[in-house]
Amino acid sequence: MQYDVVILGSGPAGLGAAVYAKRAMLSCLVLEKKSMSGGQIADTGEVDNYLGLPGLDGFSLAQKFREHAERLEVPFSRCEIVSVKKNSDGFLLEAKDGTCYAAKTVVVATGARHRLLGVSGEKELTGAGVSYCATCDGAFFRGKEVAVVGGGDVALSDALYLARMAQKVYLIHRRDTLRGSRHLQQQVLSNERITFLPNTIVTQILGDGRVSGVQMENKRDGALQTLSVDGVFIAVGMEPETAFLGELVQKDSSGYLVAGEDAVTSVPGLFAVGDARTKRLRQVVTAVSDGANAIASAEEYLLNQD
């Protein structure tokens, strides 16, 4: 069977695309790598900025997205796609187990993964004080003390954002100087609520069910220090899940698929949404809208093929 659209990924962008595809009466299939839908939000303790559903935890929001798709009888299949090839009829997608799928169009909603520090306590306390999104979770740390790990533009922006609500922000960076733009550096270094800790690495995140602090090592003298904080925001970069596409489609220098708000990529019929594509704001609300835009573009593409 050849589907009108095969959607790779079942996060907010992929599920948004699935709902719109069904409503457009397109034959569709969602292929998901993980056993649970929702993408990154499924691991988020609380989502307080999704319109109309304040205070809902990420897992519950992810379930609502999935239930909406299931109510429309969207078909799902669990597999990992390892290659996508374009042919005269559309696309051929090969899964890790050897199964192949045929599609007239493809929506890539595979997202991106946060680079991890790889230290003890990080995975265990993710969603319980460890966060990778200051704009998502910052409001939960009003009046508290937090740490931001990183030295680029994202880390600096996160520190400034958190300084608006947190009592104290520690910016921990492994180098002696920050890597972000000079404008952001000046703002960070002049902010009384932000303390810059250079030449410092986090060796362990502490806490029993909830973050209580971090253990740090000074790179110059090897001295260890424990810092009491209520939250740790990790901003050491992202890695898009797009390697399986090889050289098929245009990517930027970081591996993100080059696509605008219409989700159109360099390959006709292949659309990129959510955290897999180049975009300014990576939030649940923009991911869902990406899915809708991708199906609108796919409908137009399919119409022109007839």
Q: What structural domains does the chain harbor?
A: 2-114+238-305 (3.50.50.60), 130-234 (3.50.50.60)
Which secondary-structure segment (H or E) carries 69? helix 58-71
Please give the chain's pLDDT, 306 residues, in tens: 999 999 999 999 999 999 999 999 999 999 999 878 888 777 665 677 889 988 788 888 999 999 999 999 999 999 999 999 999 999 999 999 999 999 999 999 999 988 899 999 999 999 999 999 887 889 999 999 999 999 998 899 899 999 999 999 999 999 999 998 899 999 999 999 999 999 999 999 999 999 999 999 999 999 999 999 999 999 998 899 999 999 999 999 999 999 999 999 999 999 999 999 999 888 899 999 999 999 999 999 999 987
User: 287 and 16 in contact (C-beta within 8 Å)?
Assistant: yes
Active site residue 230: no
Q: Residue 239: how many CA atoms within 13 Å on its side-chain side?
A: 7
Give how far Cα 112 sits from Cα of 75, 150, 282, Å: 23, 18, 10
**Catalytic annotation, pick one of 4, 28, 136, 290:** 136
13: Cβ contacts below 8 Å, ≥ 6 apart? 39, 109, 111, 273, 274, 275, 276, 287, 288, 290, 291, 294
Is residue 133 flagged as an active site residue?
A: yes
Per annotation, catalytic residue among 79, 89, 100, 137: 137
The single residue of 43, 57, 97, 133 carrying the catalytic annotation is 133
